[in-house]
A and B are shown apart, each in its own frame.
Chain A
Amino acid sequence: MRIPDWLRLAIQASELDATFAAGAAFAVLDAHVRETRFSAQAWRYRLALGAAATACRKTGRPEDEAALRDAFLLTRTGDDAGPAGRMLLGWRLLVSTPVDELASEDTLGSLIEMCGYRLDGRASDLGDLMKEATGIGQNPLAAAERVYRSVQRLWPEYEAVIAPWLCDAVVARVLGWSRAVPLFLIAGSARRDRAQGSYKPDRGADGSMIASRYACAALEAVDRAILLERRATRLLQVAPKLRAKGAQGIVQTLLADDALMASHAFSNMSDRGLRRLFARLVSLGAVRELSGRDSFRIYGL
Chain B
Amino acid sequence: MMSAQTGKQKNGAETNAPLFDRELEHLPQALRWREWMARVEAVIFAAREPVTRETLAQVVGRGCNLDLIIEDISAELTDRPYELVRVAGGWQHRTRPSLADAIRTAFGIVETGESLSEAEALVLMSIGYFQPITRAELSSFFAREVSRDLIGKLRRAGFIASGPRSPQPGAPYTYVTTPAFLAHFGFETLRDLPDFDMLEDAGLLNKERLLEDIPGAMGRL
Could you list which residues of chain A lie within 8 angstroms of chain B, going by C-beta atoms?
A: 59-62, 70-72, 74-76, 79-85, 109, 113, 116-121, 198, 291, 293, 295-296
Provide 15 A-B residue pairs closer than 8 Å at the C-beta atoms, listed in order of the A residue: A70-B167, A71-B163, A71-B164, A74-B167, A74-B171, A75-B164, A84-B132, A109-B54, A117-B189, A118-B189, A119-B53, A121-B53, A121-B54, A121-B66, A198-B200
A224 to chain B, nearest CB (A): 25
**B205, A60: Cβ atoms closer than 8 Å:** yes
Q: Majority SS of interface residues in chain A?
A: loop
Contact of B205 among A61, A82, A85 (CB under 8 A): A61
| A73 vs B173: C-alpha distance when bound (angstroms) | 13
Contact of B176 among A61, A83, A117, A293 (CB under 8 A): A83
Could you list which residues of chain B lie within 8 angstroms of chain A, going by C-beta atoms?
A: 52-54, 57, 66, 89, 131-132, 161-167, 169, 171, 173-174, 176, 178, 188-191, 196-197, 200-201, 205-209
Q: Which residues of chain B are within 8 angstroms of A82 by Cβ–Cβ distance? A: 131-132, 163-164, 174, 176
Known contacts A60-B197, A118-B189; is-contact A85 B206 (Cβ 8 Å): no
Q: Which residues of chain B are within 8 angstroms of A62 by Cβ–Cβ distance? A: 205-209
| A296 vs B167: C-alpha distance when bound (angstroms) | 6
A185 to chain B, nearest CB (A): 18
**B205, A79: Cβ atoms closer than 8 Å:** no
Q: Which residues of chain B are within 8 angstroms of A81 by Cβ–Cβ distance? A: 163-164
Chain B residue at minimal CB-CB distance from A59: B191
Q: Which residues of chain B are within 8 angstroms of A74 by Cβ–Cβ distance? A: 164-167, 171
**B162, A296: Cβ atoms closer than 8 Å:** no
Chain A residue at minimal CB-CB distance from B53: A121
**B132, A85: Cβ atoms closer than 8 Å:** yes
Q: Majority SS of interface residues in chain B?
A: mixed
A120 to chain B, nearest CB (A): 6
**A80, B161: Cβ atoms closer than 8 Å:** yes
Q: Which residues of chain B are within 8 angstroms of A120 by Cβ–Cβ distance? A: 53, 89
B129 to chain A, nearest CB (A): 10
A66 to chain B, nearest CB (A): 10
**A295, B66: Cβ atoms closer than 8 Å:** no
**B188, A71: Cβ atoms closer than 8 Å:** no
Contact of B167 among A79, A119, A291 (CB under 8 A): A291
**A79, B162: Cβ atoms closer than 8 Å:** yes
Residue with the greatest number of chain A CB neighbours at <10 A, chosen from B89, B164, B178, B197: B164
| A84 vs B209: C-alpha distance when bound (angstroms) | 17
| A71 vs B163: C-alpha distance when bound (angstroms) | 8
Contact of B57 among A60, A118, A121 (CB under 8 A): A121
Known contacts A70-B167, A291-B167; is-contact A119 B89 (Cβ 8 Å): yes
B13 to chain A, nearest CB (A): 26
**B89, A60: Cβ atoms closer than 8 Å:** no
**B167, A295: Cβ atoms closer than 8 Å:** yes
| A85 vs B174: C-alpha distance when bound (angstroms) | 12
Chain B residue at minimal CB-CB distance from A119: B89
A23 to chain B, nearest CB (A): 37
| A72 vs B167: C-alpha distance when bound (angstroms) | 12
**B162, A118: Cβ atoms closer than 8 Å:** no
Q: Which residues of chain A are within 8 angstroms of B188 by Cβ–Cβ distance? A: 118
Q: Which residues of chain A are within 8 angstroms of B162 by Cβ–Cβ distance? A: 76, 79-80
**A80, B66: Cβ atoms closer than 8 Å:** no
**A116, B163: Cβ atoms closer than 8 Å:** no
Q: Which residues of chain A are within 8 angstroms of B206 by Cβ–Cβ distance? A: 62
Chain B residue at minimal CB-CB distance from A105: B54
B188 to chain A, nearest CB (A): 5
| A117 vs B189: C-alpha distance when bound (angstroms) | 6
| A107 vs B109: C-alpha distance when bound (angstroms) | 44
**B54, A79: Cβ atoms closer than 8 Å:** no
| A116 vs B173: C-alpha distance when bound (angstroms) | 22
Q: Which residues of chain A are within 8 angstroms of B201 by Cβ–Cβ distance? A: 60, 198
| A105 vs B11: C-alpha distance when bound (angstroms) | 31
